[in-house]
Amino acid sequence: MTIQLSPTVTPIAHGVDLLRADIDRIDDQILALLEQRYPLVQRLAGAKNVTGERRLALRPARERGIVERLAARAVGVPEADIRQIWRSIFALSARHQRPYRVILWGPEEARLTLTALAATRHGAAVPVEWADSAEEAWRAAAGGDAILMLPEGAAPADAHGLDLIERHATDRADHPWVLELGRLAEAEAEPGAWIAPTTGVVAYLGGHGSYSEEACLRVAPALRLLPLGDFADVLRAVREGSADLALVPVENSLVGPIEGVRDLLGHPELRVVGEEEVAVRLHLLGVEGASLETVRKVASHPAALGQCADWLGQRSWKEMPVASTAEAARAVAVGGDVTRAAIGSEAAAIWHGLTILARDLQGSDRNVTRFAIVERRREFA
Ligand SMILES: O=C(O)C(=O)C[C@]1(C(=O)O)C=C[C@@H](O)C=C1
């Protein structure tokens, strides 16, 4: 759309009036476009179901995409100006979709920086409050209706459960970075929009024959597999860069959320980029010579033991929770003991040379585990 402007060469006495008339015409156009933009934002609120959960309406990845696209098109408007103008639009739009406030926390010397940053980032439309402690600030943001801004390193010990919205550089040596954190929608990237890398390393729990391995092979078959001992190690590998991707189970249709994973996923340097569902069949695996009569102890990951609770309830075997189904199978194979069995997949039986003593112990025909595909946030990469 091109707007008809007055000729630029005008006598100076009339120049100001004519220029202002042009500016008024452009402002009318901007307003007319905002009149069209606002209802679209409202409709998006419905599509995003921002009232359903206590989570922010803000979508930082989408905001970055818009600013990048506009900056690439711009000729005379600097990128910093585009970012500043659209930040106000985004903050107002998000606030119309679902009200939020900004909570600030930091030492005395960081207060000016934080106040100024909150104002430029969210504009005057968003209420700003100071918290009395780091813990209080964190709790407020974890409630889902507030954004927390604090200098890097000022987070309370053991803090988790918030997503990184943005990392702002400041001009202060004593607090060079301010983090902006909040509870974002589960997978901020649209499901399906993520494209698996074709080189690199994928970390997962367990080893050969685990369902996590199956999830990795489905999602990113070209990547080198990096099996690790527990969920904390798997996600640390992504944060520290020794893996490009991690796959971790978050929920199983029979036993619900997988213990401990959700908290670890809340780390601000991590980002869930997609999901993969894997149908899980669990079998009893033993060494040669073992049978249902010889077994006394059964080892597996607690979630797998839980999925077989009905079947195991009919026996008086001792249940041994271990780090993963693959680890259980490995230990049984190495032990060579007919009184011990593992619960795991057919692939685990093949990998470890075990015999399947009983099939499909899971309590339902439809036993599905949902895996999160996790990357390091771009800001930290
Ligand atoms: O795309 C969305 O999800 C929106 O809510 C729209 C919009 C926008 O104004 O463009 C608003 C807030 C979000 O942070 C990102 C984009």
**Three-class HEC string of the chain:** CCCCCCCCCCCHHHHHHHHHHHHHHHHHHHHHHHHHHHHHHHHHHHHHCCCCCCCCCCCHHHHHHHHHHHHHHCCCCCHHHHHHHHHHHHHHHHHHHCCCEEEECCCHHHHHHHHHHHHHHHCCCCCEEECCCHHHHHHHHHCCCEEEEEECCCCCCCCCCCEEEEEEECCCCCCCEEEEEECCCCCCCCCCCCCCCCCCEEEEECCCCCHHHHHHHHHCCCCEEEEECCHHHHHHHHHHCCCCEEEEEEEECCCEECCCHHHHHCCCCEEEEEEEEEECCCEEEECCCCCCCCCCEEEECHHHHHHCHHHHHCCCCEEEECCCHHHHHHHHHHHCCCCEEEEECHHHHHHHCCEEEECCCCCCCCCEEEEEEEEECHHHC
Domain 201-280+369-380, classified CATH 3.40.50.2300, yes or no: no
Instruction: Give 47 Cα–ligand 1 centroid separation in angstroms.
Output: 12
Supply the pLDDT for residue 176.
85
Q: Which residues line ligand 1 (CB under 6 A)?
A: 41, 44, 48, 57-59, 62-63, 66, 89-90, 93-94, 97
Average per-residue pLDDT in the chain? 87
- The yes-or-no verdict on residue 13 having pLDDT over 60 is no
- The yes-or-no verdict on residue 191 having pLDDT over 70 is no
Of 16-30, 51-65, 117-131, 267-281, the poorest mean pLDDT is in 51-65
Active site residue 380: no
Confidence tier at 192 by pLDDT (50, 70, 90): very low
Domain ranges of the chain: 52-182, 201-280+369-380, 283-361
Q: Closest Cα to atom 11, ligand 1: which residue?
A: 90
Supply the pLDDT for residue 190.
42
- The yes-or-no verdict on residue 366 having pLDDT over 90 is no
Atom of ligand 1 at shortest distance to CA of 60?
14
More reliable by pLDDT, 318 or 17:
318
Percent of the chain with pLDDT over 70: 89
- Residue of 62, 121, 180 with the most ligand 1 atoms within 8 Å of its CB, for mutation: 62
- The yes-or-no verdict on residue 221 having pLDDT over 80 is no
- The yes-or-no verdict on residue 167 having pLDDT over 90 is no
Q: Which CATH class is domain 52-182?
A: alpha beta
Q: What is the mean pLDDT of residues 333-345?
A: 96
Q: What is the mean pLDDT of residues 120-134?
A: 89
Percent of the chain with pLDDT over 90: 54
Confidence tier at 189 by pLDDT (50, 70, 90): very low
Q: For 316-332, how does the pLDDT look when each residue is reduced to its tens digit (9 = 90+)?
A: 999 999 989 999 999 99
Active site residue 369: yes
Of 18-32, 175-189, 347-361, the poorest mean pLDDT is in 175-189
* Fold equal for 52-182 and 201-280+369-380: yes
Supply the pLDDT for residue 144.
85
Confidence tier at 341 by pLDDT (50, 70, 90): very high
Topology of domain 283-361, CATH:
D-Maltodextrin-Binding Protein; domain 2 (3.40.190)
Atom of ligand 1 at shortest distance to CA of 40?
6
- The yes-or-no verdict on residue 339 having pLDDT over 50 is yes
